[in-house]
Amino acid sequence: MAKRSFNSNGNLGQEPEKAKISKESIREALSLFAYIKPFRGKFIWSMVFIALSAFSTMIFPFLLGKMIDAASPGSQMQMPQSGMGVAAMGFDLKTVQWSLNTILLLLFLQLSVQTIFSFMRIYLLTEVGEKSLANMRTDLYGKLLSQPMSFYSDQRVGDLSNRISSDLSQIQDAISFTLAEFLRGVFTLIFGLSFIFWISRELAFVMLSVVPIIAVVAVIFGMRIRKMSRKAQDQLAESGTIVQETFLGISIVKAFTSESYEMNRYKKSIYGVVATAISNARYRGAFVSLMIFSVFGTIAFVIWYGVGLIRSGELSTGYLTMFVIFSAFVGGTFAGFAEMFSQLQKTLGATQRVRELLRQNGEEIELGSNTNPIVHKIIGNVTFKEVAFSYPSRKDVQVLHNINLEVKNGEQVALVGPSGAGKSTIASLLLKFYEPSEGHIYYDGMDSQDFALTELRKQIGFVPQDVILFGGSIKENISYGKPGASDEEIMEAAKKANAHEFVARFPEGYETIVGERGIKLSGGQRQRIAIARAILKNPAILLLDEATSSLDSESEQLVQEALDNLMKGRTSFVIAHRLSTVRNADKIIVIDKGTVQEIGTHEELMVKEMGIYRKLVDLQLEWSSLEK
């Protein structure tokens, strides 16, 4: 069995947890067979090939035995053991005599057929496994993409995707490996047991009397050993974490001269692994020697008994040989079932979690065609009517209380207030990341609940504080706002966003790869790419959530210019930390503790002696004068 302790990223992945084998869990697992359905023809063929190849494998020892008997004609069985029907017709496999050459020919025929069967079963099953898994992966990815925001704030996303990838590998293994092994095991048992009983019932009983004892020993030791190896694996993963940590923070390690501290930490962890491995070796050693003893003991005993049967003429040398080889097949299959059982448990655990995810209801977003025409074109009037909100993950805490807002199209609205006041939450509600707990939001008089999600979001532009760029080129990142945009459109947007100049200075221009999450660009550059993205999207409503607060004053100016370009002629909600940037807003809304405290223009609000806005402005003025 291919142990997957490393996932595709090379990180130590978690072992899939096991699940109890129950009716429920098996039903869950079987429901995933729907993914095999499109390939059922090939799947059934591969099962047939597995059966054929198991049977064909069994022919080999049979022919081998025949060959031995052909070489020593003296040791022929004198009488067939059972008067089978075929014997009455003058043909009994047990007594039929073939020439040595015929047997060799049959052997090669068997081997050729065997190769074809084996090739076909591996090829077909891999195709079925890979293709059905690809569909499963795609469905899961789509499911995850369509989950609402609340799903992502509840889950640790990295954890989740790690778990899913190991769950899917487990399922894939099950389809293209464990299932085949299991079927082969079952066929081998059926054929093998029939063969050995056919050869000699007496000897078969002698042999099988030992099996239960071996099986019990194997199960007891097997459990213990597996537990210990899992512990060793976990410990190894832990030491891997130490290595990762220290190299990620190598500058800290060096600056604090804690090399020897880390060295000791690592050593301790590694010796923990060694201790576990050694104590595991005791069990493994005992188990293996016991196994060798009982297996070879059984063989010796069976041969001893079988020789007695040969002497009395009930068996030939060839058939005794066949018997021993068949017994080995059967024994090996039994041993394999223990591992398969544990794999089955893991697979059931994996399928349970995958099914759980597939069952989750997502948002109603359009996947696939992104070109549906917009039915309700928004002009940009936005109304909040008695909106209250608490996050689904913390229902007892109301974050917004009774918010009433009236925004005309084309207006620039600034949302200001201390951090934690609920400004970003308002932006999330506008994007329909969440539904208001009470009250309604209207776009041009139409209730947000009546809008299709995709349609609404298509008409809203969003520039967050931390711009996330995707790993591709600058061009790709800008055209994210309008898939299929022409080069001219992209460049036009970049110019308006004050981004064209710095992009043009890169040797590869718009084809420059920005690096994972855009690390190759500065904060201000990333911000301007995001603005170009929003310009290209040309939304009716614009949300800027502290889009300039993490920038230095020079790039802030460039970004601010770009933003002013962007806001022209559209309804804009600007969440701003630096109040100087929103002085010209048509409306300044002061939010504190989830309620609207003040609404007005800069001048109107500055008049209020005891007003919050005035206090905030005075505070910032003091700070900036201190800075100078």
Ligand X SMILES: Nc1ncnc2c1ncn2[C@@H]1O[C@H](COP(=O)(O)OP(=O)(O)O)[C@@H](O)[C@H]1O
* Per CB under 6 A, 422 contacts ligand X: yes
What is the closest distance, in whole angstroms, from the C-beta atom of residue 395 to ligand X in the complex? 10
User: Could you tell me the smallest distance in angstroms from the CB atom of residue 279 to ligand X?
Assistant: 46
Task: Answer with the entry of ligand X, Mg ion, none that 394 interacts with (C-beta below 5 to 8 A by kind).
Answer: ligand X
In the complex, minimum distance from the CB of residue 150 to ligand X, in angstroms, rounded to a whole number: 7
Binder of residue 463, out of ligand X, Mg ion, none (CB less than 5 to 8 A by kind): none
421 makes contact, choosing from ligand X, Mg ion, none, with CB < 5 to 8 Å by partner type, with ligand X
Judge residue 618's burial from the number of C-beta atoms within 10 Å of its C-beta, 0-12 exposed, 13-18 middle, 19 or more buried: exposed
What residues have CB less than 8 Å from 55, skipping those under 6 apart? 187, 191
- Give the count of beta carbons closer than 10 Å to the beta carbon of residue 176: 20
- Of the candidates 460, 463, 457, 417, the one whose C-alpha atom is nearest the C-alpha of residue 564 is 463
399 vs 529, beta carbon nearer ligand X: 399
Q: Tell the smallest beta-carbon distance from residue 243 to Mg ion (Å).
A: 37
Q: Segment contacting ligand X (CB under 6 A): 16-24, 294-302, 339-347, 420-428?
A: 420-428
Annotate each residue in 140-159 with x if it binds ligand X (CB under 6 A) or - if it does not, as one string.
-------------x------
> Which of 170, 321, 383, 424 lies at the binding interface for ligand X (CB under 6 A)?
424
Q: How far is the CB of 551 from ligand X (least distance, A)?
A: 18
Give 311's contacts (C-beta < 8 A, 6+ positions apart).
Answer: none
| φ/ψ of residue 438, rounded to 5 | -135, 160
The token pair at 570 is: 């559209």
Partner touching 360 among ligand X, Mg ion, none, CB below 5 to 8 Å by kind:
none
Which among 157-165, 343-351, 416-424, 458-466 is the span making contact with ligand X, rule CB under 6 A? 416-424
Q: By Cβ distance, which residue is nearest to Mg ion?
A: 424
- Shortest separation between residue 590's beta carbon and Mg ion, angstroms: 15
What does the alpha-carbon distance between residue 26 and residue 19 come to, in Å, rounded to a whole number?
10
Q: Say whether residue 432 binds ligand X (CB under 6 A).
A: no
| Residue 52, binding choice from ligand X, Mg ion, none, Cβ under 5 to 8 Å by partner class | none
Distance CA 391, CA 402 (A): 15
Q: Site size for ligand X, by CB under 6 A?
A: 12
Cα gap 27→318, rounded to integer Å: 47
The whole-angstrom separation of Cα 190 and Cα 192 is 6
Q: Which is nearer to ligand X, 424 or 498 (CB)?
A: 424
DSSP H helices, 72-178, are 85-88, 100-145, 149-154, 157-173
**391, interface contact from ligand X, Mg ion, none, CB < 5-8 Å by kind:** ligand X
Residue (53 or 425) nearer to ligand X, CB: 425
Q: Single out the residue of 66, 163, 184, 423 in contact with ligand X (rule: CB under 6 A).
A: 423
Residue with Cβ nearer ligand X (59 or 426): 426
User: For residues 116 and 468, which CB has a smaller minimum distance to ligand X in the complex?
Assistant: 468
In angstroms, give the least distance from the CB of 544 to ligand X: 12
- Nearest partner of 415 among 149, 616, 624, judged by Cα: 616
- 184 makes contact with ligand X (CB under 6 A): no
CB-nearer residue toward ligand X: 412 or 425: 425
DSSP structure string for 383-446? EEEEEEE--GGGTTS--EEEEEEEE-TT-EEEEE-STTSSHHHHHHHHTTSS--SEEEEEETTE
By the rule CB under 6 A, 437 interacts with ligand X: no
CA distance 195 to 189: 10
Least separation in angstroms between residue 539's CB and ligand X is 21
Q: Give the x-and-dash track for 370-409 against ligand X (CB under 6 A).
A: ---------------------x-xx----x----------
Choose among Mg ion, ligand X, none what residue 285 binds, the Cβ cut-off being 5 to 8 Å by kind: none
Q: State the greatest distance between any 2 C-alpha atoms of the chain, in Å, as a whole number.
A: 121
CB atoms within 10 A of CB 366: 14
Instruction: Tell me which amino acid residue 94 is.
Output: K
- Using the minimum distance from each CB to Mg ion, give the nearer residue, 155 or 465: 465
Instruction: Report, in angstroms and rounded to the nearest whole number, the Rg of the chain calculated over CA atoms.
Output: 36
Contacting ligand X (CB under 6 A), which of 56, 178, 239, 425?
Answer: 425
Choose among Mg ion, ligand X, none what residue 425 binds, the Cβ cut-off being 5 to 8 Å by kind. Answer: ligand X
Shortest Cβ 436–ligand X spacing (Å): 14
Sheet containing 446-447, strands listed edge to edge, beginning at the edge strand earlier in sequence: 400-407, 382-389, 438-443, 446-447
Non-local (6+) Cβ contacts of 18 within 8 A are 342, 345, 346, 348, 349
The nearer residue to ligand X, 233 or 597, going by C-beta atoms, is: 597
The residues binding Mg ion (CB under 5 A) are 424
Contacts of 215 (CB under 8 A, 6+ apart): 334
Asked whether the beta carbons of 110 and 63 are under 8 A apart, the reply is yes
Query: Is 128 a binder of ligand X (CB under 6 A)?
Result: no
Burial of 345 (0-12, 13-18, 19+ CB in 10 A): middle
Positions that interact with ligand X (CB under 6 A): 153, 391, 393-394, 399, 419-425
